[in-house]
Structure 1
Amino acid sequence: MKKILIFTASIGGGHNEAASCLENQFRKHGFIVKKLDALLEINKTLDALIIGSCKILINNFPKLYGGLYDISNRERSNKLITHSLSRISEEKIYEIIVQEKPDLIISTHAFMVGVIGHLKKRRLINIPFMSVVTDYEAHRTYIDENVDAYIAGSNYTSERLIKQGIDKEKIFPYGIPIREEFLKRLESISLKPSSFQILLVAGSLGLKGMKKVLRNIVDMEGNYNIVVVCGKNKGLKRSIEREYDELIKSHKITLYGFTNNIPVIMENSDVIITKPGGLTISEAIAKRLPMIIPYYIPGQEKENLDFLLKKGLAIYVSEIDSIKELIESMMKNPKILDNMKENMKEMYNKSCLDNIIYLSENLIENCNYKMDLNYGS
């Protein structure tokens, strides 16, 4: 049996979710799969430092985070960062590859592209390498001539990769990997309420801005109910429980922390209010669930938002105070939602997971496996 080595990183939830999705799919097709958190494997202290710093910046200094993202996306500074990360990481990563002896390496985080690319450039490994771009705009860190195949979320993403110098023959717009439950219609178990259902999502880290959104929509006119998903932010969930205890008891608000039931909730919702993380918006597109974006993390999420607006898949609300009026107009005029659903239908790629498996099989078959040099040679 062929073996797949998947590298991910726990910076946000999307990279891990995409990696887990691929892990499950490859196992179903008879592959041996090893999934590793790259930063954790390299150095636990480094992992804690990077993830902790990202959480602090995202939650408390989002503009600074966005500025650092933009700086790292410039050619000269990106080369310096990539080179530094490779020097810190590649010896340990090489040891893992030697130990695991994979037939294909996959990364769902841009951090690993430069590391694996440098090992291939030095001819230490000649194993096919696939990079999964988990946002709709590819950061410069994804760019490396030694990547054998890019999985892109859309044709838009493919065009952006080509503009950055990637050979179009290496790019496959098969969609960002998401769980199979999002790729199937679930009418047989649908519990769609008669009221207009609003899904309010914070993301894996939680987002305090959603409390302001909730305050603005709980007293709307019309027949509606609100499903609130706080992610892993336990403090946010407790705060909402205290403030909206009566509405929760009366089932006007349904409150979740982290839940794996999102496919069914999406299936039964009329609109989702969310930040534009790559995985969440891919899941919404697959479910043809119109999106309202009232907040985003500067950097990759701003680029994802630009993509959504260009394709007519979402509405951006710059002032949260106006979100109430927008949803009330959607309830009265469903055509607003229908237009977004139709645009999503054109992007929907039902067989993207199988396409990735077939591509992987071809990459393995066409590669002469070789790893006959010692690190440092």
Structure 2
Amino acid sequence: MNILILTGKFGMGHYSAAEAIKQEIEENYKDINVNIKIIDIIDYLFPAISSYVYKSFDTLVSKWANLYNFINTNNEERNIKTFNYLFIKKLDKLFDKYNPEVVISTLPISSQYISKYKSIKKSNVPLLTFITDISSHSEWIHKNTNYYFVGDEKIKGSLVNKGISEEKIIITGIPVRKQFREIDMDLNKNNKKKEVLIMGGGLGLISVNDELFEVLNNVKDIKTTIITGNNKSMYEYLRDKYKNIKVIGYTEEVSKYMKNSDLIISKSGGITLFEAIYSEVPMYVINPFLVQEIKNSKFIEKEKIGRVIRDKDFDIVSDILNLINDDYEITKMKNNMKNIKSRINQNEIINVLDKFMKGA
């Protein structure tokens, strides 16, 4: 069976989801010949300008978030299509090369383009779309999608209200890699320092100030790690500045740092949110500003799995120190995360693929 996963690097969430899905399929089909290929749809369709597209996006979300939010909201209302018929030949070549029997999308534009391609070519290839935020934005919705995989019941209900058949919507949570979903039973968190992990997502956007770093650096009972991701300038700025804070750039060992932590200070990206849920580590989110992150932060508040601070004048330093030392509150948040995990099943992707394999 040939499976094509289409994604993009707008941040790293979409790509991380693609890798998690690939890993899930490979784990479950070890005895069957399944060929899986992940393709960056932006690199594939626009090889000459893809790096410019991604750099422009990074600049947009980090420096002109209000403009990004305006564009995002306007697209929700108008459901703007960007498909160009010049893409047909390129998609023909893609399908000829990989001969996919299933196409999986973790990026809205991939879902749009494959849906349109299916219409033009009268193709019956199954299209599975994984929505990578707690959102039902219309950019994800396209008529030739066979199944939608969503983060929670509320998103399912929202899609139903937008005309999507309930049978096409499956609640799996947002896909995360196996290392986040496996709880390390040997990990002993008793009788050790409290640990705070500060992350900025794939772009390394850390929305806290030096005051917090200074305080954490001087608190003997707290161990602090900062992951700056791909933000090299942030890494250079921080790495030798604080004696008692460990600073890391891009790493493949986020799961290790996350599972060792008692609290994560981070953006409320969809992937990070579910990595934290599976790792059972409460989140502390400061001033979420991108549309999708605001929606994700509301989920954090509704499910009581962390704390979201929107008041710029709020004393976050004292609040973080109080929360990290409040074992009762942290335990409640962890238990709420356990409850979320009991309601979702990432393995449902395998049940869907089984249907297509039987029909092949």
Partner of 2:226: 228
Displacement after TM superposition at 1:91 (Å): 3.4
Contact preservation (8 Å) 1:136, 1:278: yes
Taking a change above 3 Å as real, the CA distance of residues 88 and 137 of structure 1, as seen in their structure-2 partners, is farther
Displacement after TM superposition at 1:273 (Å): 0.4
Alignment of 1:33-182 (within 5 A): 33-74=36-77, 76=78, 78=79, 81-82=80-81, 84-182=82-180
Alignment pair present for 1:303 and 2:295: yes
Partner of 2:4: 5
Render the CA deviation track for 1:135-171: whole Å, top value 9, x for unaligned. 1112211111210011111222212222222111000
| SS of residue matched to 1:209 | coil
Equivalent position to 1:356, from 349, 355, 358:
349
Taking a change above 3 Å as real, the CA distance of residues 127 and 229 of structure 1, as seen in their structure-2 partners, is same
Partner of 1:373: none
Partner of 1:316: 308
Partner of 1:326: 319
Alignment pair present for 1:291 and 2:283: yes
| SS of residue matched to 1:138 | coil
Code of the residue aligned with 1:160 in structure 2: it is S
Q: Which moved more, 1:259-268 or 1:185-194?
A: 185-194
- Name the CA distance, whole Å, in 2 between partners of 1:200 and 1:64: 26
Equivalent position to 1:272, from 255, 264, 269:
264
Contact preservation (8 Å) 1:177, 1:352: no
Partner of 1:26: 25
Code of the residue aligned with 2:159 in structure 1: it is L
Render the CA deviation track for 1:105-155: whole Å, top value 9, x for unaligned. 001101111111112223431111100111111221111121001111122
Render the CA deviation track for 1:35-60: whole Å, top value 9, x for unaligned. 11111111123423321211111111
| SS of residue matched to 2:239 | helix
| SS of residue matched to 2:226 | strand
Partner of 1:262: 254
Render the CA deviation track for 1:13-65: whole Å, top value 9, x for unaligned. 01111111222232331311111111111112342332121111111111111
Aligned length: 355
Partner of 2:236: 238
- Name the CA distance, whole Å, in 2 between partners of 1:276 and 1:286: 15
Taking a change above 3 Å as real, the CA distance of residues 342 and 191 of structure 1, as seen in their structure-2 partners, is closer
| SS of residue matched to 1:272 | strand
Partner of 2:340: 347
Contact preservation (8 Å) 1:113, 1:131: yes
Displacement after TM superposition at 1:88 (Å): 4.8
- Name the CA distance, whole Å, in 2 between partners of 1:241 and 1:329: 26
Contact preservation (8 Å) 1:222, 1:328: no
| SS of residue matched to 2:72 | helix
| SS of residue matched to 1:335 | helix
Render the CA deviation track for 1:282-322: whole Å, top value 9, x for unaligned. 00011111110014341211111122212222211123752
| SS of residue matched to 2:307 | strand
Contact preservation (8 Å) 1:3, 1:102: yes
Q: Which moved more, 1:19-28 or 1:259-268?
A: 19-28
Contact preservation (8 Å) 1:275, 1:294: yes
Taking a change above 3 Å as real, the CA distance of residues 86 and 313 of structure 1, as seen in their structure-2 partners, is farther
- Name the CA distance, whole Å, in 2 between partners of 1:320 and 1:94: 54
Taking a change above 3 Å as real, the CA distance of residues 164 and 90 of structure 1, as seen in their structure-2 partners, is farther
| SS of residue matched to 2:62 | helix
Taking a change above 3 Å as real, the CA distance of residues 157 and 295 of structure 1, as seen in their structure-2 partners, is same
Contact preservation (8 Å) 1:3, 1:32: yes
Displacement after TM superposition at 1:193 (Å): 6.9
Contact preservation (8 Å) 2:23, 2:178: no
Contact preservation (8 Å) 2:128, 2:149: yes
Taking a change above 3 Å as real, the CA distance of residues 90 and 282 of structure 1, as seen in their structure-2 partners, is farther
Displacement after TM superposition at 1:332 (Å): 4.0
Q: Gaps (5+ residues) in structure 2? A: none
Q: Which moved more, 1:189-198 or 1:23-32?
A: 189-198
- Name the CA distance, whole Å, in 2 between partners of 1:107 and 1:216: 42
Taking a change above 3 Å as real, the CA distance of residues 134 and 340 of structure 1, as seen in their structure-2 partners, is same
Code of the residue aligned with 1:44 in structure 2: it is P
- Name the CA distance, whole Å, in 2 between partners of 1:21 and 1:324: 34
- Name the CA distance, whole Å, in 2 between partners of 1:55 and 1:128: 32
Aligned residues: CA RMSD = 2.2
Percent of residue pairs identical:
25
| SS of residue matched to 2:125 | coil
